[in-house]
Every structure is written in C-alpha cells, then in structure tokens.
Chains A and B, each alone.
Chain A
Amino acid sequence: MAELLQNLIDGLGRGSIYALLALGVAVIFGVMHLLNFAHGELITVSGYAAFWAINAGWSWYLTVPLIVVVSVATSLVIERIAFSRVRGADDFTLLLTSFGVHFVVSAVFLLYVSASFKTFARPGWVTDTYSVGSLRVEVFDTVVIAVTVVALIATTLLLQRTMFGLALRAAAADFDTARLMGVRSDSVIRGAFALSGVLAGIAGVFWLMRAGSTFPTAGINPMLKGVLAALIGGLGSLRGAVLGGFALGLAEVLLRSRLPDSVASLTEGVVFLLIALLFIFRPQGLVAVAHAERV
C-alpha cells in the first residue's frame, strides 16, 4: 500500500511534466491540425539558454523566467519561419515540416555549438526529500505537481473566460466559421503557439532542473512524451492530453518499480506495447473528440 502511494506520487510528478508538454501539443493540433514533432525543440533551445545563463553566473531564480521566455520566443519564431508558410496544407505536409524543424534545430546546435553534452549546475534542492509517514517525497515532485496544478487552472481560465480562449476553441472546432465571425487566423494561431510555448517553458524548467544538461537532440525525449501523451488522451482533446500525460507518467513509474529487475530496463518498450494495446481497443484515445475534422 505504501509502495503504491509512493508510486502514485512519483508518477504524478513525472506525469505533470508530460501533461504540460502534451497540452501544448494538443493546443497546436486543435487549432491547425499539426502534430508538432518539433515541440521538443523548445526545450532544446531553452536548455542552451539555461546552460549559458547558469554558467554565466545567473541564479536559477533568474534562469527560470529566462527559460520560459526563450521557449515562447522559440515557439513564435518557429511558427513564423516554418509553419506559417504551410498553413492550410494537408496534415502530412505539416507533419513533415515539423520533422524538418526538428532536424534543422538539432543541426544548428551540432554545427555551431557542440555535439557533446553541455552541463550546468542543478538547483541544490532537486534531490532533497522529506518524509510523510513511511513515504519519502521529493521536494522537486511536490513543486512540480503544485506548479502544474496552478498552470492547468490558469490555462482553463484562459480558455473558458477570455475572448482569446473562446476564439481558440471556436477556431479549433471550425476555423472557417470562426473567421466568418471575425476571428483573425493570425492572432489565434500565434496565440496558440505562445500558449504552447509557455506550457513547454514551464515543463522545460523542470525537465532541465532535473537533467542539468542539454545536447543537440535533447528535444526528442520530451517531444516523444508530449506527443505520446496527447495521442493517448485522444488528439485534439485538451482534457485528454492532460489525462494522457498523467497516465503515461504513472505507467512508467509503476512499470519501473513493478517489473522484475531483469526487464526493468525495457520499461520504455513495455510502455509502447501498452500504448499499442490501448489503440487496438480504443483508437480514439481516452477522450474522444467529436470534431477531429480538419480546420
């Protein structure tokens, strides 16, 4: 029982980061039907910003907002340079464009920075733990979960209560009709990329605090988690993406702690197997979307 609770906390911590990444993927998919395989680049780029800042003597207090700002800026620049040119193209073109962005960003860091890991000091409290009864809880997980809850509530309020949120939801449901009402495609798409950048920035802060390093292809792993979680949740559903993130985090932690030692290193493989099974029995993902139609 105690072990299960322990797994639950660890899983929620891990799942929080995945949920933030997946929500960013889902927001973009909803509004322009782009499955963004370049989402992880936001973390690659802000990772190098963190490397530069920490090694230049910045504290983490200053580096955290820097990471978020760099993530948002990167998101907007990628939209401007790459995705705005293929707006309205078929899904496959959008998909390939996002792969292209990923390769270009990795290549730029490979060529002009370095192929090797760039490390930076992690905040001291990342490995601190405290006890609750028989449980050992990481300070880090606690912070991650709390910040994620706040971020999710803020995103919900933004989507439900503001005209921008309404416009985003309307455009995701039926872009042409939203434009007929006067919703500007530019502002709604850029807004979606900015929102996605903020969410990835918050996820990136935690990802980088724990990793303490970056490298040219550092974005692949967070991208995979975000895209997978969004797929598990049901593409296009924001609620599903969050749910998918937590489900993926919990599944990883549970498998890692429950699988016999000899196969524990295969956790990732087993996770993919479970995802494959999910799609056989529930191809629409956890939360089905009525209008998975092209926007």
Chain B
Amino acid sequence: MLEVSGLTTKYGEISALREAGLHVGSGEVVGLIGPNGAGKTTLLNSIAGLLTPSEGSVTFEGEDITGRPPEDLVRLGLALVPEHRRVFVDLTAEENLKIGGVTTAGADRAELLEEMGERFPMLRDKWTTPAGYLSGGEAQQLAIARALMSEPRLLMMDEPSLGLAPILVDVVFDLIESLRAQGRTLLVVEQNATRMLDLADRAYVLRSGEVVAEGTGAELRGNKDLFDTFVGN
C-alpha cells in the first residue's frame, strides 16, 4: 500500500533523514521506533507532504506521491495524526472533527460525526468545548478521531502516547488495537517501544536518520543488543 524508498530530507544542509526505506502492506500495523532525533517525525512528515524530500520516492497504492502537498494526499486516503496532536484550540471538539472531514461530502460528514460521538463517548460530552480546554487524553482522542473523519486508508500517527498519564497511554493503545481489529492500515511512531512492538505486525528501527533494522516485534525484541542500543530503556 505504501512504499518508501531512498528518502532523504534535509533541514538546510543537515540531513534529518538519509535514504530511508519502508513498506506498509494493506491491513498491516507497522511501528516506527528509535531514539529522540532519529528522524521518525521527519519521515512521517515527508510521507504526508508537510516536508519535501530532496531525494527518493514515496508511492501510495501504486501512485507516485513524492512531494505532493498534504491537502492532495488526504484526498487519496492518507492521514496523519501529527506530533503534539495539534488540535485547533479555539475550535470546539465538534468543529475540529468537521475540519477533519472537510474532504468528505456533507451527508457523509454528518454520519461520521455521529460515529465518532459513539466511538469516543468522552468527546461526546465535550462536543461544544473549545479543544484548548480538553485534557491531554481527550485532546489525543480528538486528534485521532479528527484524522478518522477523512476515512483514511492509511492512518499515520506520530507519538500518540506522548505526554499522557499511564492510564491514558492504555486508552490510546486500546484504541490502536481496536483500529487494528477493524482491519485498518496503520503506521505508528512510538517512543514506547516495548508496547509498540507487542502490538505491531512489523516495525522499523530508525537511528540518526537511517533505517537500521526491520522485523516483527519478536525478532526485534529477540535481538537484545539492537533493542538496548537503539531503543533505549
């Protein structure tokens, strides 16, 4: 479904990402782990069109989407839950969701809103609350629900559990689990490597902008050296 090869992205002269490659098959849950500054966010942002790679290519369902702007990609079925959630703080929870569904037709949007309300009862109670007043866990759920409003075929999430209390981290992982049960295709960046490896079908390890390892959760965890060096803890 998603094929990334030889992707290099630079901030000025510095390459934050060097010839990174990965692939995600339909229905797969793929993890992206690695220490801070490894280039995980740069990789997701380069796929989603927020950053323009200087070399390499991104192919989504057979179509070359390298360097296409994000507003086009979401229409193709590729959505990103950005790092730090980035909910629109002045907009209500409902308005945030509507914006998430800006690419869907009016009637579908209303239906999806309904669906999100049922799926995220916690948000339903805060429908008319400006997102700036939501707790971290609520805001994260809102960010994910907002991305789901575009009915993505591939959903990318950047550190969905970052900065959340342990109990809310559980909520987020349960949510990923349920999305997986629905057969959704996910590419998830997580600093919580252990849990991500338990959940993912496969994972890639990034370090200093390069993909240094790939494998199933069990394979990556089995390689003790790799796990300790690249994942930390």
Given the interface pairs A182-B74, A183-B102, the reply to whether A170 lies near B88 with Cβ below 8 Å is yes
- Is residue A105 within 8 Å, beta carbon to beta carbon, of the partner chain? no
> Main secondary structure on chain A at its contact with chain B?
helix
Inter-subunit contact B74/A181 (CB<8 Å): yes
Once A179-B71, A181-B146 are accepted as A-B contacts, the answer to whether A163 and B90 lie under 8 Å apart by CB is: no
Query: Is there contact, CB below 8 Å, between A167 and B88?
Result: no
The B129-151 residues at the A interface (CB cut-off 8 A) are 132, 146, 150
Stretch from B27-35, B93-101, B210-218, B223-231 at the A interface: B93-101
User: With A181-B146, A182-B75, A183-B71 in contact, do A174 and B102 touch (Cβ < 8 Å)?
Assistant: no
Contact with A along B83-116 (1 / 0, CB 8 A): 0001011110001001110110000000000000
- Does B69 sit at the interface, judged by CB under 8 A? yes
CB atoms of A169 and B88 under 8 A apart: yes
Q: Which residues of chain B from 21 to 54 have a CB within 8 Å of any chain A CB?
A: 48-50
CB <8 Å contact, B90 and A181: no
A residues in contact with B80, CB < 8 Å: 180
Give the bracket for the number of chain B residues in contact with chain A: 20 to 34
Quick one: closest A residue to B109, CB to CB? A163
> Looking across the interface, which residue of chain B has its beta carbon closest to that of A180?
B70
Closest-by-CB residue of B relative to A184 is B71
Residue among B50, B70, B91, B103 with the most chain A CB within 10 A? Answer: B70
Q: Are A167 and B99 in contact (CB under 8 A)?
A: yes
A181 touches B100 (CB 8 A): yes
Q: Which of A176, A183, A185 is close to B99, meaning CB atoms less than 8 Å apart?
A: A183
Question: In the complex, what residues of A have CB within 8 A of residue B82's CB?
Answer: 176-177, 180
Query: Cβ of A290 < 8 Å from any Cβ of B?
Result: yes
Q: Which residue of B lies closest to A165 (CB)?
A: B95
Set of chain A residues within 8 Å of B49, measured between Cβ atoms? 179
Residues in A neighbouring B98, C-beta threshold 8 A: 163, 166
Docked pose: A184 CA to B49 CA in angstroms: 13
- Contact call A182/B90, Cβ cutoff below 8 A: no
Q: Output the nearest chain B residue to A186 by Cβ-Cβ distance.
A: B71
**B 147-191 to A, binary, CB cutoff 8 A, 1 in contact else 0:** 000100000000000000000000000000000000000000000
Query: Does A144 lie at the interface of the complex (its beta carbon under 8 Å from any beta carbon of B)?
Result: no
Q: Could you tell me the distance between the alpha carbons of A291 and B91 in the complex, rounded to whole angstroms?
A: 12
Q: Which residues of A contact B150 (CB under 8 A)?
A: 181-182
User: How far apart sit A167 and B109, CA to CA, in the bound complex (Å)?
Assistant: 15
When chains A and B are docked, how far (Å) is the Cα of A261 from the Cα of B79?
Answer: 66
Contact between chains at A170 and B71 (CB < 8 Å): no
Contact between chains at B74 and A170 (CB < 8 Å): no
Residues of A near B74 (CB, < 8 A) are 180-182
Residue numbers in B under 8 Å from A182 (CB-CB) = 70-71, 74-75, 102-103, 150
Chain A residues in the interface with B (C-beta under 8 A)? 163, 166-167, 169-170, 173-174, 176-185, 290-291
Between A and B, 18 residue pairs with Cβ closer than 8 Å are: A163-B102, A169-B91, A174-B86, A176-B50, A176-B70, A177-B82, A177-B86, A178-B88, A179-B50, A179-B71, A180-B48, A180-B50, A180-B80, A181-B74, A181-B99, A181-B102, A182-B102, A182-B103
Give me the interface of B with A, judged by CB distance under 8 Å.
48-50, 69-71, 74-75, 79-80, 82, 86, 88-91, 95, 98-100, 102-103, 132, 146, 150
The 8 A-B pairs of least Cβ separation, nearest first, read A182-B103, A182-B74, A177-B86, A179-B70, A170-B99, A180-B70, A182-B102, A173-B88
